[in-house]
Structure 1
Amino acid sequence: MAKYKRILITGAAGRLGSRLRGGLAHLADTIRLTDVNPIADLGPNEEFVQADLDDLDAVVAACEGCDAIVHFGARADEDKWQVILHSNIIGGYNVYEGARRGGAKRVVYASSVHAIGFHKIVDQIDAHAPHRPDSLYGVAKCFMEDLSRMYFDKFGLESVCCRIFSSFPEPADRRHLWSYLSFDDCVRMVEASLRAPVVEHTILFATSDNREKGFDNRLAGHIGFHPQDNTEPFRAAMEAATPEIDPKLPRFRFLGGYMTELPHPDDAKA
């Protein structure tokens, strides 16, 4: 018997959401997908509800009847304030409010390293470290982590906030040697977050089983996430591509990498 009757995946047409569809299918009788873009290739236990995260009524309707929500929707990079506000902050609130109204038991949220991007790599922080966002995108992730904490403390809605570092088909630069999360490990992470008997409100640092670590993940040990991939097959090529590292550059010192060096997005020329 499936653990869940219906799981909702937001951002189901996106880079990671599209991977989660098949990977989580065995955990529920029905996988409901939502995205602002249409999805036509539905599987045998999938259903689709088109919704803009900025539309509270549409999101509440998408959450109805779902006992778990995997929230991977919204803007996935730095952008102008109005984009971040509506897509990531208001949209994220709408998801949690939809979860509360619909009676969901648990949310697995795609948070980000950029919520703590201005901590130094050498600090080896854990989940008790304070927020230090490196961008407006990171500020939105901080807001959502705090919002999810309030929804657990006040309403009993459990959350796992997965601070994803770098999740792409393959590592693309030297930083990814330690920050990379493979697509398969991303699916394993979300499945573990859904299967764990009790999560309350958990912060989980999300990378594959790479040689170097920029964090201490012991406070999420109860989730049971055991990544199986690593970046060793890519090491020689990545180190050859960046033979010299300038320790003065923020991208090499801080967890947030290149985003610590970006200007304010609203200052960019049209």
Structure 2
Amino acid sequence: MTDQHILITGSAGIVGTLMRPRLRRPGRVLRLLDVAPQPGAAPGEAAEVLTGSVTDSHAMAAACAGVDAVIHLGGLSRESSWESTLDVNINGTHTVLEAAREAGVGRVLLASSNHAVGFRRSDEGGPGGLPADSSPRPDTYYGVSKATMEALGSLYHSRFGMDVIAVRIGSCFETPLPLGRRGLATWLSPDDCARLFEACLSAPVPGYRLIWGVSDNTRRVCSLAEARALGYAPQDNAETYADQLLGLPAPTGAAAEYVGGPFCTAPLGEVNPL
């Protein structure tokens, strides 16, 4: 039986580092690509560690060769200058998708963000939460890059038949504590993130999907119906940390009203808060 090969771009980043041990499986080889240094394969770990940029077409062609699926986490994870955002997040995503297409990769998971719809009101989804396919209302250049990522994913599915799932991730950290009270709504636990990615990898013929990536938080403002339809079964809830978070100052103004929280008022082109 042939091993399954999964390429993870941005594998040295926050989410990539959290996913590396959680996505290990018998019969699976993780190919881990980042521009930053990362540990080599541990004894018994089926991993191939590569150094390269998502903006480098030659590096991406080599990284995509022989893989079954790509989890594209690589790129700038915060607000930055328009030039950097365009180069790394937008052109980089195109480079990844094109390399995957040329290599015959059948499935790509794209790490989008809540900031693609950051200027949607937190209460506009009603009791069921904001639908996963809500049209973009980005809050930053970073948000624009994620909306463009989603559009590129849709294009590559429609043109080339590639299965593409764009995941609008809330905030993936070990705990929601670094996020303040906003984390009670947006947290995606690392274990749930792995559960979500596994569902995306195994769902039969998903086509193009746009889904939310959050845990089953009591105070979430987004819908999980679309992710559950792929087989996602979240087990965690940020409410576990409510006693520690509710004592912190509550967001006010735009940070309280909109999905993007403090990104909605932070200066464009500068590093934003969480």
Tell me the TM-score normalized by structure 2: 0.91
- Alpha carbons 1:114, 1:141 under 8 Å: kept: yes
Unaligned runs of 5+ in 2: none
Counterpart residue number, 2:267: 263
- Alpha carbons 2:181, 2:251 under 8 Å: kept: no
The answer to whether 1:174 aligns with 2:181 is yes
Counterpart residue number, 2:255: 251
CA deviation digits over 1:199-234, x for unaligned, max 9?
111111111111022122323332111111111221
1:22 Cα deviation (Å)? 2.0
Counterpart residue number, 2:84: 83
- Alpha carbons 2:184, 2:220 under 8 Å: kept: no
1:185 Cα deviation (Å)? 1.0
Q: Distance in 2 between matches of 1:266 and 1:181?
A: 25
Counterpart residue number, 2:206: 199
Shift >4 Å, 4+ stretches = none
- Alpha carbons 2:80, 2:269 under 8 Å: kept: yes
Counterpart residue number, 1:136: 141
Which moved further from structure 2: 142-151 or 39-48? 39-48
Residue 77 of structure 2 aligns to which amino acid in structure 1?
Answer: A
1:97 Cα deviation (Å)? 0.5
Q: Secondary structure at the match of 1:42?
A: coil
Measured on the aligned residues, the alpha-carbon RMSD in Å equals 1.9
Following superposition of structure 1 onto structure 2, how do residues 208-247 of structure 1 map, counting pairs within 5 Å?
Answer: 208-242=215-249, 244-246=250-252
CA deviation digits over 1:33-66, x for unaligned, max 9?
1100233331431112211111111111111111
Q: Distance in 2 between matches of 1:27 and 1:72?
A: 23
- Alpha carbons 1:170, 1:182 under 8 Å: kept: yes
Unaligned runs of 5+ in 1: none
Q: Distance in 2 between matches of 1:27 and 1:106?
A: 20
Q: Secondary structure at the match of 2:217?
A: coil
1:5 Cα deviation (Å)? 2.5
Following superposition of structure 1 onto structure 2, how do residues 141-160 of structure 1 map, counting pairs within 5 Å?
Answer: 141-160=146-165
Q: Distance in 1 between matches of 2:133 and 2:41?
A: 40
1:6 Cα deviation (Å)? 1.0
- Alpha carbons 1:196, 1:222 under 8 Å: kept: no
Q: Paired residues, what number? A: 264
CA deviation digits over 1:151-174, x for unaligned, max 9?
001101111111011111221311
Counterpart residue number, 1:66: 67
Q: Secondary structure at the match of 1:223?
A: coil
Counterpart residue number, 1:100: 101
Q: Distance in 2 between matches of 1:45 and 1:259?
A: 38
Q: Distance in 2 between matches of 1:148 and 1:219?
A: 17
Q: Distance in 1 between matches of 2:66 and 2:251?
A: 51
Structure 1 pair 28–161 and aligned structure 2 pair: CA distance change class (3 A): farther
Counterpart residue number, 1:161: 166
Q: Distance in 2 between matches of 1:256 and 1:266?
A: 15
Q: Distance in 1 between matches of 2:205 and 2:229?
A: 8
- Alpha carbons 1:81, 1:266 under 8 Å: kept: no
Residue 137 of structure 2 aligns to which amino acid in structure 1?
Answer: R
Counterpart residue number, 1:49: 50
Residue 255 of structure 2 aligns to which amino acid in structure 1?
Answer: R
Residue 212 of structure 1 aligns to which amino acid in structure 2?
Answer: R
Residue 174 of structure 1 aligns to which amino acid in structure 2?
Answer: R
Structure 1 pair 59–267 and aligned structure 2 pair: CA distance change class (3 A): closer
Structure 1 pair 61–245 and aligned structure 2 pair: CA distance change class (3 A): closer
Q: Distance in 2 between matches of 1:208 and 1:128?
A: 18
